[in-house]
Structure 1
Amino acid sequence: MFSLRSAFLIGLAAIAVGVNAETHTVHFANNCGFGTPTLIQGGNVLSTGGDVTFGGPLLGAIAYLQTGGCGFNGEGCTLIETTLRNPTSPGSGSSTDISLIPPHSFSVTSGFGYFGGCEPAGADCTFADCPTAFHVPTDTQVQVACQVNNVNLAITFCL
């Protein structure tokens, strides 16, 4: 029989699940005075500069400063690649990097940092040959991991 006590316990369980739901926010800081920060995932524009919060993982997203010379997927520009997700096993959490692998190329100084966990982990790229960016696909040492639930990402252009 369904009682008021049962309804109360179900309500508490729903609240507990909601409190523990996975969320991630991406924040942009554009210090350049020009351009439009752009966040794309799977061909969909998710943000053009405003903070955006996801109620779950953000898998395989890219960000760049659209200066008028960038292709839709950031071709010709400095690219930030990110996956934000809560780890389900060791090493399966968030990972972010800067890519200058052609057809991407240095356009503006760019950087990122995690917040809400893993501080001060991040990377900056201030010149075309910066050692903190992918230049070839085997530069995997430049990936910056974070193994904290609900971590957020700040992306900055023109550091």
Structure 2
Amino acid sequence: MFTSPRFLAFGTAALAVVAIVKAETHTVIFDNRCGFGTPTLIQGGQVLSTGGAFTSNGPLTAAIAYLQTGSCGFNGEGCTLVETTLINPTTPGSGSSTDLSLIPPHAFSVTSGFGYFNGCDNTGADCTDAGCLTAFHTPDQTGVQVACQTNDVNLAITFCD
């Protein structure tokens, strides 16, 4: 039987490495092509990024992003909003979901879009005008949500493309 302290220490270290390798991560990146404004990522009232890549070590739930042009409120009021939850699926249909929102008090401000990468590639949405059909205008338009059922998926958000 392998019960020596050395074997137990090795086994514990090996399990720790496996846990680290299996840890859930998600990265949000910005591509601001407007020539003005500050990309902003917020979760729970905390600013996570003002343009740089942000990596979440675990799920990123109920986060919002927008291009702060000087006329947006702290939660993106008056601007085009990207809403996202990036989470590894535990059951079918329980993974990541991202959408664009123009539900008042949000309003079209700049062309905005998003796309998943590292899974669900070429899946996303763009909003190029105030009447875009790919954004929420009322809370019941759940068909505009874009889902991804891939572990460790990342998100690219683009402004003015």
The answer, yes or no, to whether TM exceeds 0.5 is: yes
Query: Which secondary structure does the structure 1 equivalent of 2:15 belong to?
Result: helix
Cα offset, 1:107, TM superposition: 0.2
Aligned partner letter, 1:156 = T
Query: Which secondary structure does the structure 2 equivalent of 1:16 belong to?
Result: helix
What is aligned with 1:138?
140
* Pair 1:23 & 2:25 matched: yes
Cα offset, 1:9, TM superposition: 1.0
Deviating runs (4+, > 4 A) in structure 1? none
Query: Which secondary structure does the structure 2 equivalent of 1:7 belong to?
Result: helix
Aligned partner letter, 2:131 = D
Aligned partner letter, 2:66 = Y
Deviations 1:49-70 (A, max 9, x none): 0001010000000000000000
* Pair 1:89 & 2:95 matched: no
1:35-114 mapped onto 2 (5 Å cutoff): 35-114=37-116
Q: Which runs of 5+ in 1 are unaligned?
A: none
Q: Which runs of 5+ in 2 are unaligned?
A: none
Distance in 1 (CA, whole Å) between partners of 2:156 and 2:113 is: 8
Tell me the TM-score normalized by structure 1. Answer: 0.98
Distance in 2 (CA, whole Å) between partners of 1:14 and 1:92 is: 27
Distance in 2 (CA, whole Å) between partners of 1:35 and 1:127 is: 18
1:4-19 mapped onto 2 (5 Å cutoff): 4-19=6-21
Tell me the TM-score normalized by structure 2. Answer: 0.97
Cα offset, 1:5, TM superposition: 1.2
Aligned partner letter, 2:84 = T
Equivalent residue pairs, number = 159
Cα offset, 1:2, TM superposition: 5.0
Distance in 2 (CA, whole Å) between partners of 1:20 and 1:70 is: 38
Which one of 33, 36, 51 corresponds to residue 35 of structure 2? 33
Distance in 2 (CA, whole Å) between partners of 1:60 and 1:98 is: 13
Identity of aligned residues (%): 71
